[in-house]
Structure 1
């Protein structure tokens, strides 16, 4: 019998395209790990967060860039998402090292990398394209730097994080990655 080797590929094949000075690209070497607060464990997790990332547990709708370059996102009550440069599909082990292991865990960790497709939209057309897709108030005074909101784009659930002046990280369900990308590219084509 022949030997077979499986190679992981980006959900959208590493999509990267420029739209009149606004870049839309898939973030491919990015791990996503959900971290949940155990019952009566908020203080221990908060202390571990400060040690590992230099910040606290973010409020829902807030995020911050940690001292090691990870993006910590307040995703839901008592739950956050940690996004960081890492080989996909193995993020839990990295978070366990930072926050605690099975025999000393201060949180519950769940690999989320395969569940999401992550895109970065960066440039002067980004806000206008997003305004056509979701019901968020994206005005810079309202959707301030590091804001992270769950919303819908077309019929799909999404997470929008403002990471720069005209830069947003967009996360959508990997099972609908093609439709998610299509919605964003069509919106960009309309605002060019």
Structure 2
């Protein structure tokens, strides 16, 4: 019988550094989709805060700490990262384990926003996109969730099947930005 070996989505692809920008893989212990039932948003936010220590994020926001976060992922839904979600939270909304479905990377360093400017149609400069803000957007030809996690760092989530393509596109943009320097 075949022995299966668990691998992360970016196994063997990351880390990459180009001049002042680095791309590393983040490996959340869990990624859970949470969608409050219609009319239960306030109760769901209270229950999420009690269970996981963070409120339901508003549109284009992330809540929580760097260890355990809730990231807005669309109208009336969020991803909860790095914390277990108690089953009794299902009384307030739909819960789905998404842990194996996403590749999560961090692009960091001086020039990270310049790298993303080549790939996304959204203004991610510090003046327009503050730490703690998030956006669902197109990155090249794939959908991505991008969260500003610090002054010069961005957490990027793409579907697992796009991990290799995302790493390639980001690396090419990193090399292009480095060449301009």
Please report the TM-score for the alignment, with normalisation by the length of structure 1. Answer: 0.84
**1:136 maps to which of 88, 112, 122:** 122
Range with bigger deviation, 133-142 or 51-60 = 51-60
Distance 2:156 2:100 in 1: 15
**CA displacement 1:107-166 (0-9 Å, x = unmatched):** 211111222111101100211100010011112121011110011111111111000010
- Matched position secondary structure for 1:75: strand
* Structure 1 unaligned residues grouped into runs of 5+: 86-93
Change (3 A) 1:16 1:30: farther
Distance 1:185 1:6 in 2: 29
- Matched position secondary structure for 2:58: coil
Note the C-alpha offset of 1:52: 2.6
Distance 1:158 1:150 in 2: 6
* Structure 2 unaligned residues grouped into runs of 5+: none
Residue in structure 2 matched with residue 163 of structure 1 by the alignment: 149
Residue in structure 2 matched with residue 62 of structure 1 by the alignment: 61
Q: State whether structure 2 residue 108 is matched by structure 1 residue 122.
A: yes
Change (3 A) 1:77 1:178: same
Distance 1:142 1:21 in 2: 22
Note the C-alpha offset of 1:65: 2.6
Range with bigger deviation, 117-126 or 36-45 = 36-45
Note the C-alpha offset of 1:26: 1.1
- Matched position secondary structure for 1:169: strand
The list of structure 1 runs, each at least 4 consecutive aligned residues, that deviate by more than 3 angstroms after superposition, is none
Q: State whether structure 2 residue 134 is matched by structure 1 residue 148.
A: yes
**CA displacement 1:81-121 (0-9 Å, x = unmatched):** 11116xxxxxxxx2125xx266xx32211111222111101
Tell me how large the CA RMSD over aligned residues is.
1.9
- Matched position secondary structure for 1:175: helix
